[in-house]
Structure 1
């Protein structure tokens, strides 16, 4: 790739990650929560705050720290320990920041290979490592959904907050998203471990169909990335994959436990309800997957009461839980990203360039 074109692409990616980009999602999210408070507030609704269970708040903080440590361990392990612990911390913080400032449908993986490449990892390996994380994340969803559906059944859907037609629409969206994620995960498994060239040809032929041709060049590029990833990853042994799968299971389980911990800090929740809250994260995720705002700002806040309001009580307490949840899982990473990003840029762009 010509140096000027590469520099232009790097600048475009950095422009997407400017710390100033935190302003819009913060304004959107806080405006939605503020409106929800204004519409629902009644004197005395926040009384449960005075009886907050400190141990559940400490568990929530422990889960958040454990989740981030799990992410740091996972990226260091998947990158075959090329990254130091410090580099792994920087990568995860900026990756999380990218997920917060980009639309949820795009996510941080859009810039993750660029981040790894600037840490001194070759472009081919960077793409391979990002593809592994995406594949493992999808496989967690594929494996967990049937288990949760078996345990929770129809209670996964918020019948108490939605009319029958909307519940049916949510069910269809949930099933469609699960089928698509499963098909994509199986395709990537086949591509990486069996025959990457055939998957590349399939993608090119698929996007040669009239109406899809505008994405043919991107499909060809993605096909090449699959071939590179397969070449980089096929030689790894069972130990590599067991640790990668185990760390993925750990971080996503921790991620889905946060809401339950926050609710349990202010409301008495049975273990059955706690597990149901965990399960509803999977249907809640469907809304976030199609969100077009940065990090799902506004949409995540607005949809939260529909899925979890019945476990909390009053609308005002629900809105408080929404605010706390987004503070520790979203706004916190916007602030951390704004701190880590300038230091990371100064460090990696002063180092010798990689290819």
Structure 2
């Protein structure tokens, strides 16, 4: 596999931070202008937040990111130092923040790990493992949390009923089926029959109107075989920490919003479960967003999903939520990227010349 450095650096461009920021601001100003329930008094509501819960929300984010750093270090079998793991996660999150959610930052993550000194085949296997684990959390965890939510997962929103009717439920279940199928196929390909997977892939792309992608399919099959070799023979003491870290990461991602909503309104145990479950639904909606980092989409759907709990605090909480969970990665990425490029490219060149 050859990484297209030009495409990668086109994604890893600090100037790209302005696109999602402008989209997000545009949606926020649109909501402020067109929604009669949002006014200057509503904005003052941001100061009504309970400080302990806001601090808890921030701590949950910090712990979540620490979980990401720990997981990538364990997945790479501690080949990365703590410092290099932090760089990898910040740049990976930055890539995800400046690309449409449906695209993601997979290719960028492989590139970053490779430039950190991890061989390409191993880098591919490590990124594939993270993708499968993340998908499996959703595939296995979603039915469990939806069961505890007792069916109160789809919001009663007039806007959603008018625009989507029952499409939201259809989008969720279709997406769930696709994620489950993808996770099963990739797990079988990586851990059971990688060569069979490659053979099937080549056969599919030998069809006349798919033939122009046959070489790419063959290349992808080779990557799967190489990744499978890397992962074969890994024992339980390798998998348990990364699985536990994955559960911790995604639980923290959702619990942060629970803490933030609790900063404005008290939530019962049942409502905490419903808020948690609705984030699973909203995550699927955000995953198919065409905008970078789901900018605009996230702010809009937040109101539809959580106004039932927040009432007049919905608008300020949505802004607060994005300020804590999204925009920091744009800023950190723009700061850390030039430093990482100097460390990885220019220092290595200087060393090789000496």
- TM-score, normalised with respect to structure 1: 0.93
Question: Which runs of no fewer than 5 residues in structure 2 stay unpaired?
Answer: 350-354
Where structure 1 has 5 or more consecutive residues not aligned to the other structure, the ranges are none
Instruction: Say which SS state the counterpart of residue 42 (structure 2) adopts.
Output: coil
Say whether residues 1:100 and 2:64 are aligned partners: no
Q: 1:217: how far off?
A: 3.0
TM-score (norm 2): 0.93
Match of 1:280 in 2: 278
Aligned match of 2:213: 215
State the match for 2:352 in structure 1.
Answer: none
CA displacement 1:62-117 (0-9 Å, x = unmatched): 10000000000000000010000000000000000000001110111121100000
Match of 1:140 among 118, 137, 140: 137
Q: Of the candidates 7, 12, 17, which is equivalent to residue 7 of structure 2?
A: 12
Where do residues 94-243 of structure 1 align in structure 2 (5 Å cutoff)? 94-161=91-158, 162-163=160-161, 166-243=164-241
Distance 1:155 1:201, change over 3 A: same
| SS of residue paired to 1:34 | helix
Asked if 1:91 corresponds to 2:88, the answer is yes
Kept after mapping to 1: 8 A contact 2:45/2:316: no
Aligned with residue 334 of structure 1, among 322, 330, 348 = 330
Deviations 1:24-62 (A, max 9, x none): 110001110111122232354356444321111111011
- Bigger mean CA deviation after superposition, 235-244 or 167-176: 167-176
The equivalent of 1:36 in structure 2 is 31
Q: Distance in 1 between matches of 2:102 and 2:282?
A: 14
Match of 2:42 in 1: 45
When the two structures are aligned, how many residues end up with a matched partner? 346
What is the rounded CA distance, in whole Å, between the counterparts of 1:216 and 1:329 in structure 2? 39
Give the corresponding residue for 1:62.
59
Shift of 1:223: 1.4
- The correspondence for 2:20, drawn from 4, 18, 25, is 25
Please tell me whether the aligned partners of residues 67 and 251 of structure 1 are also in contact (alpha carbons under 8 angstroms): yes
CA distance in 1, matches of 2:184, 2:73: 25
CA RMSD of aligned residues (A): 1.8
Name the CA distance, whole Å, in 2 between partners of 1:295 and 1:50.
27
Match of 1:320 among 316, 319, 322: 316
Instruction: Summarize the alignment of residues 69-80 of structure 1 with structure 2, pairs less than 5 Å apart.
Output: 69-80=66-77
3-state SS of the aligned residue for 1:309?
Answer: helix
